[in-house]
Amino acid sequence: MFSPDLTETSSHLAGAFTQTLSVAGFARSAAQIRLSTLSPEPLWISPLRLRLAKLVRQGHIWEDEAPKIRADILTPFVTYASLIATTAQTLPALRADRAAVRGLLERLHGAAESCAAKTRDAATRLQGQLGALSMIEAELRDSLSQARAGLAHEIRQVTAIAELVGALLDRLFALQDGITAPRIAAGTTFYQTPTTISFTLAGELGREMPFLTLTDTIHSTEGMAYDRIVSDPEVAEIIDTLVARRTGTSASGQAAAMSEAVTRMIRRLHLQVAGLSHCLPALDRTWRAEAAKLAAALRALDGGADPATLIDLSTLPAAVGNWRALADLAHGCVTFPSQNILPGKAVALTTEQPAPQTIF
């Protein structure tokens, strides 16, 4: 049949789209990273600041390329579904004309190969984005390694604070409902809760110094995530412990530990997309398999086969139904960000205080 497995292909299509949503969410978060000036500034801060600027620029590059990447993933399903439906409508009147049937199949074959090429291009562009982020992550780690090298006398305190920063980010991530392929396919509605974390440094005489501000987005399916976050005892406990741990650690040491939040965010992005890395290659195989089936039918016709005896042509109506379902899913992915993601109540967390505060 001129159609892939509907369930499997639907999963791969929604999964590939989910990858683009994950990168888009990270790009938005990267653009909102704020690093305040310290006085005096440690030597490692300046290179870190430059590399954070590269991260922001990479996020802007993604915003420029994302529309084409998504279009190259989704649009082929819509255009091919339309073409095969037209072919199915036209075919009965032409079945006795081998040349006419061959012309219809040639059009489908060319379209399938074009769809495969677009999918491969999308995969290449997406991997290019992830590769660029990996390079920036390595540069950020180099800056933080240099920072730690100058903090050997308090490395235990720095490590403890860094572990708490990571635990806080991990806990916030665990409180959300992931935008997964099955949920996209089901048209699930999400609330999007902006969550800002202000990492401040404990100075002399209890003075608080702003240092690093991160903004992430927490998604939830059953009401807003705000209530989950502000009432979560683990979030409050981690922040309380983090506030206490800062005492006795130098400002430079606190800053180095808190800066690791950025590399933790990049690592989390890679973990999110790694589980879906098979989706785009699978879609490429789907299109290539479709092209191969059409090529086999063309060879059969060239060998003198009667079009009426080709099984794939007799099952064309069923194939049209599968492609129509895939086109509907692709269209649902296009409209998903605007129709299925609703604004949620924003939350602010700060290491100055043990409890989150609402942003009004």
User: pLDDT per residue over 74-114, tens digit each?
Assistant: 999 999 999 999 999 998 888 778 899 999 999 999 999 99
Decide: helix, strand or coil at residue 332. helix
Q: What is the CATH number of the domain that holds 190?
A: 1.20.1170.10
Tell me, yes or no, whether 288 lies in a domain.
Answer: yes
Confidence (pLDDT) at 354:
45
Tell me, yes or no, whether 307 lies in a domain.
Answer: yes
360 pLDDT more than 70: no
Mean pLDDT, residues 256-278 taken together: 87
Tell me, yes or no, whether 1 lies in a domain.
Answer: no
Tell me, yes or no, whether 70 lies in a domain.
Answer: yes
Confidence (pLDDT) at 356:
46
Instruction: Quote the pTM value.
Output: 0.88
Question: What sign does the dihedral 231-235-240-246 (CA atoms) show?
Answer: negative
* β 341-343/190-202 pair status: parallel
Indicate the number of domains in the chain.
1
Please say whether the beta carbons of 118 and 76 come within 8 A: yes
By residue range, what is the domain housing residue 341? 6-358
DSSP 178: P
Rounded Cα distance between 11 and 204, Å, is 55
Please say whether the beta carbons of 17 and 74 come within 8 A: yes
| Closest CA relative to residue 208, chosen from 162, 254, 173, 256 | 254
Q: pLDDT class for 298, splitting at 50, 70, 90?
A: very high
182: how many CB neighbours lie within 10 A of its CB? 12
177: how many CB neighbours lie within 10 A of its CB? 16
* β 357-358/347-350 pair status: antiparallel
Rounded Cα distance between 307 and 98, Å, is 6
| Closest CA relative to residue 179, chosen from 72, 332, 357, 322 | 332
User: pLDDT per residue over 187-235, tens digit each?
Assistant: 899 999 999 999 999 987 678 899 999 999 999 998 788 999 999 999 9
Confidence (pLDDT) at 205:
66
Rounded Cα distance between 309 and 318, Å, is 17
User: pLDDT per residue over 116-149, tens digit each?
Assistant: 999 999 999 999 999 999 999 999 999 999 999 9
Paired tokens of 28: 């938005």
